[in-house]
Every structure is written in C-alpha cells, then in structure tokens.
Amino acid sequence: MATDEPLVLGIETSCDETGVGIVRGTELLADAVASSVEEHVRYGGVVPEVASRAHLEAMIPTVRRACEQAGVQLSDLDGIAVTAGPGLAGALLVGVAAAKAYSLALDTPLYGVNHLSAHVAVDLLEHGPLDEACIALLVSGGHSSILQVPVVGGQELTELGATLDDAAGEAFDKVARLLGLGFPGGPLIDRAAREGDPDAIAFPRGLTGPQDPAFAFSFSGLKTAVARWVEARQRAGEPVPLADVAASFQEAVVDVLSTKAIRAAREAGIDYLLLGGGVAANSRLRELTAQRCERAGIRLRVPRPQLCTDNGAMVAALGAQLVRAGATPSGLDIPADSSLPIVEVLV
Ligand code: KG4
Ligand code: ZN
C-alpha cells in the first residue's frame, strides 16, 4: 500500500458500540471498540440514554487506543470521518460532536458519513479495491436492503428493495427474546441453531410469491409464526425444541435474504455480491450465500464477522474513499440525523 493513501480516523457511535478505526486507504491500521452491551442486557434492548453516556465516557480513551494500535499521531491524519446517521439521536450526537472537536482542533477535514454505506465500504479493508459494480445485501439491526453499488465507497447507490417491516437483525433479536435466549439475539440464535435441524419446522418465507416485490423483505409475519408455534407447544404442555426452532427460523431468514440478493445480481448482470451489516456475521447466511453464489457464478465478498458488526474501521474506510475521490468535506454545522436516508452517503 502506497503511503500517499489518505490516513483517516473513523468514529462510530450510532448504537451501543463506541468504535474508532484508523485506515490508510484500504489498509486497516486500528479497530478499537468499546461496547456498552453489558449495560443493556438486563433491559433486553439498547437504552438510548445509557448508550449515550457510555459513548461519552469511552470516546477519548478509545481514540487514544486506536492511535496506539495504529502507531500514528492525531496530527498525522488527513481526515476525520464520523457516522452522522442513521441511528440513535443522542448516541450519534456524541460521536458527531467529538469528530467536530477533533477536526477543529487538528485543522483536519471532517466527513459526516452514512452508517449504512460504511457497512458496505468496510469490505475494502478485507478484500482490497473492487473495480466493478456490485450488489450489496445490507442487513443490520435497523435496516435490510438490497443496493446496487456502482463504486464501493462512492457516493452513488440505488436501493432496489428494503424491508417493509422488521429488519433482519430485529427479527433475530425479537425471536431470541421470545425463546428466552437473551440479548443481543443474533449471535445467540446463530449458536443455538448449530445444534438444531433447519428443516424441522416449515416457517414462512415472506414476500416470495410470484406477485410480491422481488427485492423487498418482510420478517414480521415470520416472527409471529414463530411465536404462535412456540405458544401452541407450550399450551399442549410439550417441551419447546429450542435448537430446532432457532435453526428453522434462521433458515427462513437467510433463505430469503440470499435468494433475493442473488436474483438482484443476476437480473442486473452484476458479477459481485457483497454482504454487510451485523447479520452478515451470521454463519448460516455466509455459508448458504457462498454455496448459492458458487452455483450462480457470482463472486461473493463478505468481511470477517468482526468487521460486519458496528465498528469505527468501516467509517474510516468510507472516509478514506471520499478523501481519495476529492469529495467536499462536511461543514462543522452538520447535524446528527437519526433517520438519514440510505442514499445520502456524505452529509
Ligand atoms: O450492524 P449492527 O452491528 O448494528 C446496526 O447497525 O444495527 O447489527 C446489529 C444486528 C443485531 O440485530 C444483531 O442481533 C445482529 O446484527 N447480529 C446477528 C449476528 N451477529 C449480530 N444476527 C444473526 N447472526 C449473527 N451471528
Ligand atoms: Zn450497523
């Protein structure tokens, strides 16, 4: 990697992870994450005020840790990137305020970026530059979309479809709660499912009929179907086979996700499929999509699980591409926008 590539620090505080990453171009130099997840466990979900306070406490130590890991000084930076949205308003605000302060104090340009585009751009750190367009399946706790991306890390993208109700990660979290597995649900279902039979229960595949929109998702009917199935067992006084329910639910989600994403790539005549977002850490989604891509002749790019869930490196990765492309930096007056639209890559 040439040393004239931009050195960028990325700050991520949209949910319960205080992430600070440092990259040089597409080279990952540091990925420091302080999570407040333990503080939310007893509430069964992220409590925004608790998350904001934790970000405030973790921010400066996490920036220091990232600089130490990368062996760089703040004064070396060519840019400060920060998640400007979407996410929890108060949590975003802590990161945006910190990024503005660093930008002003260091006289370094600020880039307020979209969390969802950062989930896509992080793959560059794992697999290097991609010279072709790709379809991105973006699956997180708050969003599930299929995107057509001409340039990974660029400012153009088209949303081909999205969830009409729950996000994929939200479905994992809700089903884990109703199964009594705990929070956050995705990794717990992933683990429980390894002991179960994915074909044990035929849960519905939402929006897969011939008249349904090809690239939209719906997971709330699936969640209700799981709840009804479990209730029926309990009413009959029969034990609930947790591993089989987890495996069958997970299969229903990943089957629809991978089918639709591959179809999008085929129909657009695009050879690359990229997975991003916390649910892309799911072992079965990775396995099934890899098998199907191989059969379809599509090249799959999936970052390691640690880079799929929220982190600062992904924000730095997107920031570095924007610096490289000569994008106009953000003003110091940019807001933290909790409902930033997916197509607004740079604020
Ligand atoms: O991208 P992310 O870290 O945060 C948001 O932007 O929302 O995604 C978090 C979501 C949660 O719903 C979590 O349960 C899910 O990703 N998740 C998983 C796995 N790891 C995290 N879902 C399924 N399987 C996993 N292994
Ligand atoms: Zn995320």
Q: What CATH number belongs to 132-302?
A: 3.30.420.40
Cα 333 to Cα 44, 89, 262, 336, 339, distances in angstroms: 35, 16, 40, 10, 17
Q: What CATH number belongs to 7-122+311-324?
A: 3.30.420.40
Q: What is the DSSP letter of 329?
A: P
Query: Is the pLDDT score of 86 beyond 70?
Result: yes
Residues with CB under 6 A from ligand 1: 15, 140-142, 169, 172-173, 184-187, 190, 277-279, 281-282, 309-310
Cα 319 to Cα 10, 37, 239, distances in angstroms: 7, 26, 51
Query: Is the pLDDT score of 1 beyond 80?
Result: no
Determine the atom of ligand 1 nearest the C-alpha atom of 283.
26
pLDDT bin (cut points 50, 70, 90) of residue 29 is: very high
pLDDT bin (cut points 50, 70, 90) of residue 100 is: very high
Determine the atom of ligand 1 nearest the C-alpha atom of 169.
12
pLDDT of residue 191: 98
Closest CA to 172 of 240, 254, 262, 244: 254
- pTM to 2 decimals? 0.97
CATH 3.30.420.40 residue ranges of the chain are 7-122+311-324, 132-302
Is the sign of the CA dihedral 219, 221, 222, 228 positive or negative?
Answer: positive
pLDDT bin (cut points 50, 70, 90) of residue 2 is: low
- Helices (H), ranges, the chain: 37-40, 48-70, 89-106, 115-121, 123-127, 168-178, 185-193, 220-235, 242-268, 283-296, 305-308, 312-324
Query: Is the pLDDT score of 103 beyond 70?
Result: yes
Q: What is the mean pLDDT of the chain?
A: 97
Q: Copy the structure tokens of residue 118.
A: 């950062």
Query: Is the pLDDT score of 316 beyond 60?
Result: yes
**What is the CA(237)–ligand 1 centre distance, in A?**
33
**What is the CA(168)–ligand 1 centre distance, in A?**
8
